[in-house]
């Protein structure tokens, strides 16, 4: 028996209904902020992803050559393709541009809880607004998208300027080493690494920055920065909107990708793989042949959101099953069409079995059963039975529809 590829999943109807319900809440939240949905190809030129991250990323991607020998890759994330599309299709559009997307992505990595080789990402990109208000909007949007999903999460918001200021005099290789240690909160390792180059004072400053929780404390450590006013204005907007978040100036992942504001969100019940959202300000368009335009956005790990929220069924919708005798089949199909036109999920019997067997089967699937025999067909009526109460009545189709939709 053939099995699905490692790192992929099959979704049965109950799970798909839960996923679609969450997708819809995310799309609706983005729509209210003015973000319109876009879609990019599942595969792109391989260079789209290596031009920023280097060829080392190829080992983490699904790559192939097409029949013309062109190197292609299944998209490992959504942002690069969105900015490529902006350069190709929309660079003359009035700015700022607000786009959102839900895309399946592919990465060749070891599968584990919340991490798959095929996964889905919901994202939003705000292109062409280089202001504190733009930074604040994307964070507020992310929070508003995640809240209805019923996931418990902590939001961390920071800015890279203080960290980059402290690391400015270190060689690039040493910066990478220090950032890796800071990401793991290994302050002893940081101290040892900096002691080797006789820069012990910096170790204390870095630890203090990672642990500080106010911008005043950060500026006391780093001094006045050119970005000071921008950071203060962004924080003022977030605080004015009463956003629940933690200031975290120790965010170091993506230091070579993001340019200013950064933020992350962590679910409280996923263990080690608990990050469900990450984002910030960046500049990519110029790498793809466009002008140097500021962008800010985020990506939500949709699958991790679904794991974190657990099995929460969407609001129950009425289900009607129609059982009928052979001579009443034409009327049964007409009744089914009337119920579906009213937006009601309606299933007809398709197997040749008696009414008793049909009703027994229908009781497992539906809240209402419509019994249609020769008499009902002749009178153009139905007998409707409420399976929860056991009550039944013979009535017109319109009356039966009204009964189900009450």
For position 137, what pLDDT does the model report?
98
Considering the domain architecture, whether residues 293 and 360 belong to the same structural domain is answered as no
Say if 21 falls within a structural domain. Answer: yes
For position 270, what pLDDT does the model report?
86
Backbone conformation region of residue 34, classed left if phi is above 0, alpha if psi is from -120 to 50, else beta: left
Considering the domain architecture, whether residues 391 and 305 belong to the same structural domain is answered as no
Say if 131 falls within a structural domain. Answer: yes
Say if 146 falls within a structural domain. Answer: yes
Specify the CATH number for the domain of residue 122: 3.30.930.10
Which tokens sit at 94? Answer: 């009035």
User: What's the number of domains the chain is made of?
Assistant: 2
Considering the domain architecture, whether residues 290 and 395 belong to the same structural domain is answered as no
Measured distance CA(44)–CA(56) in Å, rounded: 17
Among 289, 309, 329, residue at a domain's last position: 309
Among 288, 309, 330, residue at a domain's last position: 309
Beta bridge partners, 119, equal 105
List the domain range (segments joined by +) for residue 22.
Answer: 13-160+251-309
Measured distance CA(265)–CA(255) in Å, rounded: 17
Element (H, E) at 371: strand 368-372
Distance of CA 115 to the CA centre of its chain: 14
Say if 18 falls within a structural domain. Answer: yes
Considering the domain architecture, whether residues 305 and 338 belong to the same structural domain is answered as no
Concatenated DSSP letters for 201-231?
A: HHHHHHHHHHH--SHHHHHHHH---TTHHHH
For position 223, what pLDDT does the model report?
87
For position 325, what pLDDT does the model report?
94
Measured distance CA(207)–CA(194) in Å, rounded: 12
- Could you give the strand order of the β-sheet that contains 63-65, starting from the edge strand earlier in sequence? 43-45, 71-74, 63-65
- Sites in the chain below the pLDDT cut of 70: 255
Per-residue CA distances from 328 to 120, 188, 333, 378, 388 (Å): 46, 81, 9, 8, 26
Considering the domain architecture, whether residues 269 and 125 belong to the same structural domain is answered as yes
Q: Residues 6 or more apart from 31 whose CB is under 8 A from it?
A: none
Specify the CATH number for the domain of residue 339: 3.40.50.800
Considering the domain architecture, whether residues 70 and 154 belong to the same structural domain is answered as yes
For position 111, what pLDDT does the model report?
85
Say if 246 falls within a structural domain. Answer: no
Among 275, 309, 343, residue at a domain's last position: 309
Q: Residues 6 or more apart from 77 whose CB is under 8 A from it?
A: 105, 121, 299
Considering the domain architecture, whether residues 84 and 149 belong to the same structural domain is answered as yes
Considering the domain architecture, whether residues 290 and 332 belong to the same structural domain is answered as no
Measured distance CA(368)–CA(390) in Å, rounded: 10
Considering the domain architecture, whether residues 278 and 154 belong to the same structural domain is answered as yes
Considering the domain architecture, whether residues 156 and 256 belong to the same structural domain is answered as yes
Considering the domain architecture, whether residues 126 and 255 belong to the same structural domain is answered as yes
Measured distance CA(123)–CA(106) in Å, rounded: 15
Do residues 339 and 346 touch, judged by C-beta distance below 8 A? Answer: yes
Sign of the Cα torsion 117, 120, 122, 127 reads positive
Say if 337 falls within a structural domain. Answer: yes
Beta bridge partners, 164, equal none
Do residues 288 and 47 touch, judged by C-beta distance below 8 A? Answer: no
Say if 223 falls within a structural domain. Answer: no
Say if 209 falls within a structural domain. Answer: no
Considering the domain architecture, whether residues 255 and 401 belong to the same structural domain is answered as no
The pLDDT tens digits for 184-241 are 889 999 999 999 998 889 999 999 999 998 999 999 999 889 999 999 999 999 999 9
């Amino acid at each position: 028996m053939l099995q699905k590829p490692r790192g992929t999943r099959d979704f049965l109807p109950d799970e798909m209904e839960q996923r679609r319900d969450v997708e819809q809440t995310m799309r609706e939240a983005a729509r209210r902020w003015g973000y319109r949905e876009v879609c990019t190809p599942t595969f792109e030129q391989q260079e789209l992803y290596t031009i920023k991250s280097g060829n080392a990323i190829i080992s983490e991607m699904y790559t192939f050559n097409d029949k013309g020998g062109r190197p292609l890759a299944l998209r490992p994330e959504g942002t690069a393709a969105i900015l490529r599309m902006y350069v190709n299709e929309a660079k003359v559009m009035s700015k700022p541009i607000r786009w959102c997307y839900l895309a399946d992505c592919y990465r060749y990595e070891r599968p584990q809880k919340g991490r798959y080789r095929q996964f889905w990402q919901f994202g939003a990109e705000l292109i062409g607004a280089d202001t504190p208000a733009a930074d604040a909007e994307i964070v507020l949007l992310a929070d508003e998208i995640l809240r209805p999903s019923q996931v418990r999460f902590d939001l961390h918001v920071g800015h890279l300027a203080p960290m980059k200021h402290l690391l400015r005099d270190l060689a690039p290789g040493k910066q990478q080493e220090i950032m890796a240690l800071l990401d793991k909160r290994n302050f002893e390792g940081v101290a040892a690494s900096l002691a080797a180059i006789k820069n012990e004072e910096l170790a204390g400053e870095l630890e203090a920055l990672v642990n500080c929780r106010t911008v005043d404390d950060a500026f006391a450590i780093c001094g006045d920065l050119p970005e000071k006013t921008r950071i203060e204005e962004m924080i003022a907007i977030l605080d004015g909107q009463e956003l629940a978040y933690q200031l975290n100036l120790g965010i170091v992942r993506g230091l070579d990708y993001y340019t200013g504001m950064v933020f992350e969100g962590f679910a409280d019940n996923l263990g080690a793989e608990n990050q469900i959202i990450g984002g910030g300000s960046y500049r990519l368009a110029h790498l793809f042949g466009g002008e140097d335009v500021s962008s800010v956005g985020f990506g939500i790990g949709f699958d991790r959101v679904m794991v974190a929220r657990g099995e929460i069924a969407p609001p129950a919708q009425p289900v009607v099953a129609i059982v009928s005798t052979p001579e009443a089949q034409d009327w049964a199909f007409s009744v089914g069409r009337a119920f579906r036109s009213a937006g009601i999920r309606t299933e007809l019997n398709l197997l040749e079995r008696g009414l008793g067997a049909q009703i027994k089967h229908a009781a497992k699937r539906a809240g209402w059963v419509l019994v249609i025999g020769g008499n009902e067909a002749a009178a153009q009526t139905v007998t409707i039975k409420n399976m929860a109460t056991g009550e039944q009545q013979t009535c017109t189709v319109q009356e039966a529809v009204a009964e189900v939709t009450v």
